Amino acid sequence: MHRAIRLFTVSFVMFVLSAITAPSINAKGKNITIDKNDQKTTIACTDNAVTVSSEDNNITLSGECRKLTVKGKDNNVTASSIQEVVVSGTDVNVIVANVGRINVTGNDVNVVWTNGIGGKPPKISQKKGNDINIVHNGK
């Protein structure tokens, strides 16, 4: 029960943060790397890859991303659609509406997904790490 409350709280906080005016990046097929700390931005994906390799970021991904890789610490990502999510960081929260594959290592990682791409549940791989939560938020 406490874990569900925590995930809801994280979701709500990320929603509020995404509503705050943040710089927007239109990726147009280019791969994007977020390598600076304390970034609050929205990225419009068009089948590209996004890598977050820094700390304390709040990133919103709209459109369809090919891949999201999170290597940093204390990062929050909200996304519409990602073919593959790869997390190896610490204290990372990812909320994704549509996802095809989820690969997680690391510590204190939460991945909340709603739908699998193509109507199938995503392929999930969870390797070494502590306090890893991969949760289906289906209706």
Q: 4: Cβ–Cβ under 8 A, 6 or more apart, which residues?
A: none
Provide the CATH number for the domain around residue 93.
Answer: 2.160.20
Rounded to 5°, the CA angle 105-106-111 comes to 70
Confidence (pLDDT) at 88: 93
**Cα–Cα dist 123/104, whole Å:** 11
**What is the extent of the structural domain holding 83?**
2-136
Q: Which helix (H) or strand (E) holds 48?
A: none
Total domain count for the chain?
Answer: 1
In terms of Cα–Cα distance, which of 60, 122, 52, 59 is closest to 90?
Answer: 52
Distance, in Å, from the CA atom of 22 to the CA atom of 5, rounded to the nearest integer, reads 27
pLDDT in tens, the chain (139 residues): 555 555 545 554 454 444 444 555 555 667 999 999 999 999 999 999 999 999 999 999 999 999 999 999 999 999 999 999 999 989 999 999 999 999 999 999 999 999 999 989 999 999 888 899 999 997 6
Q: What was the pLDDT predicted at 65?
A: 96
pLDDT (0 to 100) of residue 12: 47
Q: What is the dihedral of CA 62, 63, 64, 66, to 10 degrees?
A: -50
Tokens of 106: 């690391």
Structure token pair of residue 101: 């594959």
